[in-house]
Structure 1
């Protein structure tokens, strides 16, 4: 009697199969939303060119946006646990669409400031709800892959949206705001129609953020994530400045090198996501953080586009390793009825890093040039990796 060897699953099945249909609605909405993210990356240009604000005034407006984003994650985390994941995500997207259009049509400084504050409050309100939905919908063994696929969708959509936005901005900034707003409404509609409410019954029980803030392991994990976020946030804050102003590269050369980041993520991340998800999560996350730290430390030696591309390849490798793992650990730490609040604190670390990274970077560049900046950033990455290893045993016990 002959036996037939079992057929190995194809790459597509291994990378994309076995996940529930509502997850794919969430994934599709995320992709559409990122494809349409065209207005925010060009907000600074819009404020100075289309509205005639000075660079200093534009900086104040962006700071107001940052202040709103700090509160956004915490408030959205509470809402995700109280009124539900689906309602918070869809409502946040509708509010974001309205705030984008309000900003696009604002012509006075008070109106612009008010629109940017509201936009900061709502633009990322979907994140805690999205994290909680993945934890609620996807079985534990598939969560690293699910979070990795969302990371992949964000990068794929954002890279295409940025490219298209740069061209469409020449036709007029208002078009960007409309495209961005419509993509938010599509995301909201997809989630509302195709994703069930998953908030556990009893999600409004007493405890709230007091429980989260008394969770010393979660606080330690948040501190580690803050370190990692401070490292990664340099990619869109001080890295462009340092490469163009100090390393002597042109904006075109910098953009060409940075394109490697998106290409590597889109091509490599789906190939390794499943394999990485089967590894020990704390050690894997620590390894990725360490690789990112080394990659940014190497930036001190960049004098050409080729050398910059090498460093980008190194820290992008670390970024790929960490993709999906942090979210997986977060779901291990959070009780089901508090997943929104835990995700809110997690997101707060990223919002805080977005504000702190340029402040830290500018001070270090002024004090000691590129070596001071990039060796410090690399050291923060390695410290975050060490911290992750230190709390790893407690995470495994949890």
Structure 2
């Protein structure tokens, strides 16, 4: 019996992983964009909100466009082209001034900044055997968070040295990511490509995938509360910004420390049950926030939903890759990413609507939404297993 471990993963995957870590280590602009708009550009809060909305709309479309292009032009060309476009948009945004110019450039940045996600997910599906995909996707999730943790520290320091340094570093690492992939990761898209007319409409005809997307959107609406409603709710409970920041830092620390220890074990489990379990734990973590009154309690709930996030990390893309036809891996990954982004976009709408009703209603309601997502995944676990058990090995060419 052959034992499959992370050492069995092909070299192109590790180069993709390395490029992802490099890119995320320099991902400085997005977390500090709203601060830059207010403090450097001098925009009012409504103006900054309008720019962030333009960025979010571009990001929402980015997943779908990148997935479609990855299936037609190739994974490598889509990823490298998207990263070069991201670099250019970073430079232009850093030099732009005035609300119309900044908003238009922010939209273009949002439209390109997520290109690497569907392309990367499709590359993993092409290059990695199905038995190793949960481990590979888990490692990619870990690498993204490892790089992001570094970016959070470096971004604050670079912001103190001027906005241009922040935009310049982010643009440089996007180019570095493109260079690593172009040089070391072969094109993996099936030679024939998707049939004419195939694309997002193929996903609309796939009821099982639509069910996964619905669960993903619900999960995104719950998880994104961490960055939308949670800061507001904790401020009302007397948790100051420093305490909130320290509690949220626990999220990155736990992911970096725990995921490598659990990834191999989770990879051996049924992905649908793993996804349902992780979603339920995330839901429980946010539901427990109803009882938080200080920074210590907040840290405890952050730890709970972070464990759930770690569990979800490799399971969702594994399911999407298993459901997707081999010539539509990019499209399925893009639609999945857009579903999560749509849920995240709804998060502040849901959260701010429930916030005035009190913490019990707010966090219990969100906990129920997450639980519904977990139950939905369990309901389709059988059909997912039945369909993916008949999946044929992927035929690929490396060129």
TM over 0.5, shorter chain: yes
Verify: 1:95 aligned to 2:82, yes or no: no
Deviation at 1:222, TM superposition (A): 0.4
Query: Superposition pairs for residues 221-232 of structure 1, below 5 Å?
Result: 221-232=212-223
- In the alignment, the residues of structure 1 paired with residue 358 and residue 157 of structure 2 have an alpha-carbon distance, to the nearest angstrom, of 34
Q: In the alignment, does 2:363 pair up with 1:374?
A: yes
Q: Is the Cα contact below 8 Å between 2:217 and 2:341 reproduced in 1? A: no
Cα drift, residue 44 of structure 1 = 0.6
- Choose from 181, 185, 188 the match for 1:191: 181
- Cα distance, 1:138 vs structure 2: 0.6
Is the 2:221–2:345 contact (alpha carbons within 8 Å) kept by the matching residues of 1?
no
- Does the residue aligned with 1:324 lie in a helix, a strand or coil? helix
Pairwise CA distance, 1:304? 1.2
Q: In structure 2, the residue corresponding to 1:303 is in which secondary structure?
A: coil
Q: Give the equivalent residue in structure 1 for 2:168.
A: 178
Paired residues for 1:307-386 under 5 Å: 307-366=297-356, 368-386=357-375
Report the CA distance between 1:359 and its aligned residue.
1.1
Q: Shift in Å at residue 238 of structure 1?
A: 1.3
Matches within 5 A, 1:299-314: 299-314=289-304
Number of the residue aligned with 1:4: none
Unaligned runs of 5+ in 2: 388-399
Provide the residue aligned with 2:204 in structure 1: 213
**2:101 counterpart of 1:111:** yes
Residue 147 of structure 2 corresponds to 157
Distance in 1 (alpha carbons) for counterparts of 2:362 and 2:81? 40
Instruction: Determine if the alignment matches structure 1 residue 247 to structure 2 residue 261.
Output: no
Please say if 1:23 is aligned against 2:10. no
Question: How far apart are the structure 1 equivalents of 2:288 and 2:130?
Answer: 36
2:393 match? none
Structure 1 residue matching 2:195: 3-state secondary structure: coil
1:204 deviation in Å?
3.5
Shift >4 Å, 4+ stretches: none
Q: Return the alpha-carbon distance in structure 2 between the equivalents of residues 350 and 209 of structure 1.
A: 16
Shift of residue 354, structure 1, vs aligned partner: 2.4
CA distance in 1, matches of 2:270, 2:30: 36
Which position in structure 1 is the counterpart of 2:376? 387
- Report the counterpart of residue 117 of structure 2 in structure 1: 127
Q: Secondary structure at the match of 2:380?
A: helix
Deviation track 1:245-293 (CA, whole Å, cap 9, x = no partner) reads: x111111111111111111111110111011010111111101111110
- Measure, in 1, the Cα distance between the counterparts of 2:231 and 2:176: 32
Alpha-carbon distance in structure 2 between the residues aligned to 1:323 and 1:351: 15
Residue 107 of structure 1 aligns to a residue in which SS? coil
| Residue-by-residue CA offset, 1:31-67 (whole Å, 9 max, x unaligned) | 0011001111111111111111100000011111111
What is the CA–CA distance in structure 1 between the aligned matches of 2:350 and 2:57, rounded to whole Å?
17
Residues 223 and 344 in structure 2, CA contact (< 8 A), matched pair in contact too:
no
Question: Per-residue deviation at 1:167?
Answer: 1.6
Residue equivalent to 2:227 = 236
Alpha-carbon separation, structure 2, partners of 1:261 and 1:113? 31
Q: Report Cα offsets for 1:322-377 as digits up to 9, x if no partner.
A: 110101001110000001110111011122122111111111112x0222221111
Structure 1 Cα separation of the partners of residues 337 and 84 of structure 2? 20
- Tell me how far apart the structure 2 counterparts of residues 310 and 163 of structure 1 sit (CA, whole Å): 23
Q: Residues of 2 paired with 1:239 and 1:151: CA distance?
A: 23
The alpha carbon displacement at 1:103 in A equals 0.6
Superposition TM-score, scaled by structure 2 size: 0.94
Deviation at 1:309? Answer: 1.1
Correspondence for 1:145: 135
Residues 191-234 of structure 1: CA deviation (Å, up to 9, x unaligned): 00101101102213122222111000000110011111111111
Give the Cα separation in 2 of the matches to 1:205 and 1:350: 27
SS at match of 2:358: helix
Q: CA deviation at 1:126?
A: 1.2
Unaligned stretches of 5+ in structure 1?
1-8
Q: Distance in 2 between matches of 1:247 and 1:153?
A: 34
State the Cα deviation string for residues 90-137 of structure 1 (Å, max 9, x = none): 000000011111111001212101101101111001111110000001
